[in-house]
Structure 1
Amino acid sequence: MAEDLDIALATERRRAVRALLANPLLLTEHPDFPLVRRHAEWLKSWFGNFLGYRLVVEAGFARLFKAGMEPGRGRPLRRSTGPFTPRMYAYLTLAVAVLLTGPEQVLLSNLVADIRAAAVEAGIDLDDAQRQTERRALGAAIRQLVAWTALREDQGTVAGYAEDDQAEALLTVNRDIVAHLLATPPGRASTPEEFIQYAAEAGPGGPRHAVRRRLVEQPVTYVDDLTDDERTWLRREQRRDERAWLEYAGLQAEIRAEGVALLDPEDELTDMQFPGSGTVAQAALLAIGDLVTSLRPEPGPLTTGVPLPIEELDRVLAALTERHARRWAGRYLEDPLLLREEVVALLIDMGILARGNDFLLLAAAARYAATEELRS
């Protein structure tokens, strides 16, 4: 009986850890929110010790304050229409600043005016508010706040603002959530570069927290990207941490000479599926198989950073496009450059490709080599 209780306790805590890793702002509607509330003290201790993350658990939400990544390694918010743009982030930050000190209820038109006034005060240049592209960026930021329940639509909706600047809505502000959105206060830094530096600091955990954060937040961690201290810590502790990742987060560590990747058997703890569906994901996966074969003709490991001439990538994609023309989206058949750009962006995000003089095919490509079944 005691063993059954221990197993049940460990299972609940693992579900809570996974829920917070996938949803750093966890709302009451999430099915695992009661588990987070139940194990709040244990979770605060575990995240603080293991990753150096701060966790706040309130009656209406839980907020896991993750650290940022170094420049070039961030992952944007994703919407159904694509990732958040820099302009959307600017509006989102301005909206948070306005809502922190504004009234509990606000009209959409007044919120828009206050945000633009805050931009002027902060020295941020904005385009004409009547431009549809500008309204779409601001509308996306406000809709994200509604999705996070930082704003509640009491009358009307903010959805129509992008198409109609006269759209109106009465909004109620949840200041508790607004106050917990930003993980790093912008006022701490005097320049954007300082802000990114502060946001990515490992803190007192040093290499221990820095490496673990890379592992859990990035598709693959290469030893060549680590400092000497981080590399030493990883090699010393990787087997012990392998057990911890599996026990506490349900993640399997794939450890190789080139680096480490954490794999999720449930495919839940990611914002990007790979392999995946759609023309770009299929083209990327099939291209990897051909490239691994052509760039590594002899059996053996694919070392980190095999040069990939852009002409070779274009040749492979052109052959694949001809072979799969009947099944792939027409816009990519008509625009090979668009297909290449989106395939490259996906592979870079997944830690499979890097930019060099042309490109570098990285070691993680070897595990995705396409099979004959995929090629048919």
Structure 2
Amino acid sequence: MTLPSAHDVALSAERRSAARLLLAHPLVTSDGPHADLFPLVRRHADWLGKRFQQVLGYRLLVDSSYARLFKAGLGAGSGHQFVRSTGTPFSPHTYACLALALSVLVTAPEQMLLSQLVADVRAAAADADVELEETGRAAGKRTLVAALRQLVEWGVLVETHGHVGAITAEGGGEALITVDRELARVVVAGPLAQSRDGADLVRRAADPSFGGPRTYVRRMLVETPVVHLDELTDPERDWLRTRQRREAQAFVELLGLETEIRAEGVALVDPEEELTDLRFPGTGTVAQAALLLVERLVERLRPPDPGHPATGGFLVVGVAVPDGLVDEVLAELVAEYGERSNWQRGYLEDPHALREAALDLLARMRLLAPAGPQRAEGEGLPEAYAEELPEGRQVTNVGEARPRGGNWVLLAAAARYATRVTMPTTSSIRKDAHTQQELPL
């Protein structure tokens, strides 16, 4: 066997670094936060463009001052939220402001006053018959500022004199901003011209076209924490089962990701812990509560071994969470950790908000899922059913039913965050948290 030369090794490392950068940051500019790696993207633009197209069906556009990887998305309900500097997710009004601002900026002058941009956004909203939160009020001003700050982060707007936050100044504020019209034009990745509305845009963007199941499954592997075989359509599942080990090498070469294969599904693991916008375990009240919640749910609901006769010989991919158990466990956690761990006062006073935030995080990590079908056959769209799911029932198909009460299924991957208890030869017992893999995945 011929070993690769030092040149080949260096070349592969450069291409992999550039690919990882684009996957994590689909819009990279020559003078932005990742300017040091931008020359790598330009140097390997042709190779990167071909590989992203072949593997994921993503289009890459590289210009002298920017590179844009046009990701396709996975369909409705699978997007990643934008958040404000405070960590608060964008509201529908914030997204509306962002879209309206982009519609104005593609034809804006190179430089303009902030007050003129605000006036143009209001006019665009009126023309589109979009009702915005009143931009003259404090809440409306903060919403618009959040959208404009996102554009500053992307490099679409440059704060030449002053800051976009001047909108919120008492009595009004002013700033001079520079507009990059070209960047404004390439921010939206989906096919705007062919789409009837927002839902149609999301659907069309996620369409793998000629790539079919192959391309869609690869996108799921790269863009989500774990892919369960159960959530795939039959053609997608068949393709993954027959190709998963050959695909592992492709992901190592392109992105440096290691493939972890289990009976229930597949996950791509990043040894460098860079390619994620969602860290778990993490810091903060919600992340801490979610980690403790999933740990205790696994302790209480862990099923017998998959081969145990009680499972009927089926592969157990999850366990139905009984009504009220999440609230019960969270109440215990708040009492036990809330004050001494200095959890946010707002969450301590509003258990419902803590519950929703923790469940949302665990669902995005694919550790919990609403009981019911996740996608319609051949589409990236969620469906809902009204069939009841018995409490505590083991689930051999996550898509079996969606109970009226909005019950949840604790998925197999959650077991890696359970407490592990080892019994050494001595009488002492050591608890090693968050590393056990009792369920198969």
TM-score with structure 2 setting the length? 0.81
Aligned equivalent of 1:101: 107
Aligned equivalent of 2:129: 123
Match of 1:327 among 330, 341, 346: 341
1:312 correspondence with 2:317: no
How much has 1:25 moved relative to structure 2? 0.3
1:58 correspondence with 2:68: no
The answer as to whether partners of 1:223 and 1:259 remain within 8 angstroms in 2 is yes
1:224 correspondence with 2:230: yes
Deviates more, 1:297-306 or 1:223-232: 297-306
CA distance 1:243–1:135, change in 2 (3 Å): same
1:214 correspondence with 2:216: no
Match of 1:15 among 17, 20, 28: 17
Written as runs of structure 1 = structure 2, the 5 A alignment for 1:262-277 is 262-277=268-283
Aligned equivalent of 2:29: 27
The answer as to whether partners of 1:288 and 1:370 remain within 8 angstroms in 2 is no
How much has 1:305 moved relative to structure 2? 3.6
How much has 1:321 moved relative to structure 2? 2.5
In structure 2, stretches of 5+ residues that fail to align are 308-314, 372-402, 421-430, 435-441
- The one-letter amino acid of 2:8's match is D
Written as runs of structure 1 = structure 2, the 5 A alignment for 1:1-376 is 3-28=5-30, 29=32, 30=34, 31-81=36-86, 82-164=88-170, 166-300=172-306, 303-325=316-338, 326-331=340-345, 332-356=347-371, 357=403, 358-371=407-420, 372-374=431-433
How much has 1:163 moved relative to structure 2? 4.3
Across the aligned residues of Structure 1 and Structure 2, the Cα RMSD in angstroms comes to 1.9
Deviates more, 1:239-248 or 1:11-20: 239-248
Take 2:292 and 2:432, find their aligned partners in 1: how far apart are those partners?
A: 11
- The one-letter amino acid of 1:63's match is R
The answer as to whether partners of 1:280 and 1:342 remain within 8 angstroms in 2 is yes
CA distance 1:76–1:361, change in 2 (3 Å): same
Task: Please give the per-residue CA displacement for 1:75-132, whole angstroms capped at 9, x wherever unaligned.
Answer: 1123332222221111111111111122222111111111111111112112322122
**How many positions carry a matched residue from both structures?**
375
- The one-letter amino acid of 2:343's match is A
Deviates more, 1:18-27 or 1:316-325: 316-325
Identity %: 50
How much has 1:319 moved relative to structure 2? 2.3
Runs of 4+ in 1 over 4 A off after TM superposition: none
Take 1:100 and 1:336, find their aligned partners in 2: how far apart are those partners?
A: 44
Q: Which has the larger radius of gyration?
A: 2
Take 2:171 and 2:218, find their aligned partners in 1: how far apart are those partners?
A: 45
Take 2:240 and 2:124, find their aligned partners in 1: how far apart are those partners?
A: 45
Task: Please give the per-residue CA displacement for 1:199-240, whole angstroms capped at 9, x wherever unaligned.
Answer: 211122111110111111111111121111111111111101
The answer as to whether partners of 2:417 and 2:433 remain within 8 angstroms in 1 is no
Deviates more, 1:138-147 or 1:302-311: 302-311
The answer as to whether partners of 2:18 and 2:37 remain within 8 angstroms in 1 is yes
Take 1:130 and 1:320, find their aligned partners in 2: how far apart are those partners?
A: 42
The structure that is helix-richer by fraction is 1
The answer as to whether partners of 1:53 and 1:67 remain within 8 angstroms in 2 is yes
3-state SS, counterpart of residue 247 of structure 1: helix
How much has 1:54 moved relative to structure 2? 0.5
In structure 1, stretches of 5+ residues that fail to align are none
